[in-house]
Amino acid sequence: MKESENKKQVPLRLSSSLYSELMRWAEEDFRSLNGQIEYLLTVSVNKRKKGKGSADSTDKP
């Protein structure tokens, strides 16, 4: 099974300024906007998994 068959589509609304920043960043990293967002989310999830004692865990109620 192809990787693209396993991916889910998610509608996403972004402010114009965030969109512009992400586009600029994606171009610097030679990625599409979609690829950049997926990359950033993957990095964030992996950091959260590794850093159970980090500042992220203090935000929980």
Please check whether residue 31 lies inside any domain of the structure: yes
Please check whether residue 59 lies inside any domain of the structure: no
Enclosing domain of residue 33: 15-46
Contact in structure between 33 and 23 (CB atoms under 8 Å)? yes
Give residue-wise pLDDT tens across range 1-53: 566 678 899 999 999 999 999 999 999 999 999 999 999 999 999 999 998 75
Query: For residues 25 and 20, what is the distance between their CA atoms, to the nearest angstrom?
Result: 9
When pLDDT is cut at 50, 70 and 90, the band that residue 61 belongs to is very low
- The total of other beta-carbon atoms located within 10 Å of residue 36's CB is 19
Q: Which residue stretches of the chain are H helix? A: 3-6, 16-28, 33-50
Contact in structure between 60 and 54 (CB atoms under 8 Å)? no
Please check whether residue 60 lies inside any domain of the structure: no
Number of separate domains in the chain: 1
